[in-house]
Structure 1
Amino acid sequence: MNESIHPTLVLYNKLSDLPMGKILFTRGVCFKAPYFATIRPLITGLRPGYGEVKIRKRRSVQNHLGTVHAIAMCNMAELASGTMTEISVPATHRWIPKGMEVEYLKKAETDLIAVARAELPGQWPDSGDFSTRVEVQNIHGEVVARMVITMWVSVKKKQTA
């Protein structure tokens, strides 16, 4: 695990205690990665090895059945996993999503929460796969989808002057 706290986590911790702080933090993340804004997420939990994102069931995230669209769930899962990975890897490393396995278990008929979890290595290798598990739950605590998201983590390339 990191010896120091990632600057993104420091910012999240500072803002999350303020009124509308989690909204401001989430908007900043969505400004950096605009596609996530399409689901209007709210990052509600973040620490090394853990990320949590909520979305409301609104017309813009629904499919033809009136349930939350499968790709909206994938989007929130990737956001939870990605923000968690960002603050979990050492400052010397970078990451990018490599793949996602998805299992849809039941109709998503309510607001949703995605919880990403991962076992952090004692020491990060120079490069390799890092898997995160995400469960998407409805407001009743029932799991409606499960994902395994694989990130490719590697040492940042040195900048030359």
Structure 2
Amino acid sequence: MKQQKNSMCRMVDKTASLPAGLRSWVITKMFGKFVPFLGTAGLHFEEVSRERMVVSIRNRKKVQNHIKGLHAAAMALLAETATGFVVGMNVPDDKLMLLKSMKVDYLKRAQGNMKATATLDAAQVGRMAAEDKGDVLVEVLVTDESGESPIRCEMLWAWVPKKRN
């Protein structure tokens, strides 16, 4: 059975005919309407699909710590955003998604810009469509300009039925 597309997927589909660079910019602006803080932090959506989300952040003054690296909270936001939006592409419109837990281990000093790649497998996507409520541990790899992973994250997302008024 093919999973129905939710409103977020349908919105992203409308950008399919745009050139890649413009498509990425438009999706970043649209997702910023959902979560205004994304624009404040300067997050950029590089790749968007139901199975994979790639989000990046530039190391610039607004998001730096005292040693001119990306602030710890900005790194966590990057991972949380990538995982949240890949889940958001799959949770049906009649469900509410919530971050259940977030664990971030800071392993080493980050170098330069960073990127988070969150992925879901077919079984995880299927559960979101089939189960009324549940949770999923979303795999996310966060790398810096050196290609290394300065942080290791675990993001557990849940979905529940929306309350009807």
Using the size of structure 2 for normalisation, the TM-score is 0.85
Match status 1:137 vs 2:143: yes
Report deviation, 1:126. Answer: 2.0
Q: Is the 8 A contact 1:36 1:76 kept in 2?
A: no
- In structure 1, the partner of 2:45 is 43
> 1:104, CA displacement in angstroms?
1.3
Segments of structure 2 that go 5 or more residues without pairing to the other structure are: none
* 1:85 matched residue in structure 2: 87
Bigger mean CA offset, 137-146 vs 1-10: 1-10
**Structure 1 equivalent of residue 15 of structure 2:** 15
* Alpha-carbon distance in 1 for matches of 2:160, 2:2: 15
Name the residue aligned to 1:96.
98
Which of 122, 126, 130 pairs up with 1:122? 126
Return the TM-score normalized by structure 1: 0.86
Q: Where does the alignment leave 5 or more consecutive residues of structure 1 unmatched?
A: none
Amino acid at match of 1:133: E
Residue 59 of structure 1: CA displacement? Answer: 0.9
How far the C-alpha of 1:132 sits from its partner, in A, is 1.0
1:66 is paired with a residue whose SS is coil
> 2: CA distance between counterparts of 1:111 and 1:8?
27
2-structure distance, mates of 1:26, 1:121: 23
Contact 1:51 1:80 in 2 (8 A): yes
Distance 1:101 1:14 in 2: 34
Distance in structure 2 (CA, Å) of the matches to 1:14 and 1:141:
33
- Cα gap change, 1:53 to 1:126, in 2 (>3 Å): same
Aligned residues: 159
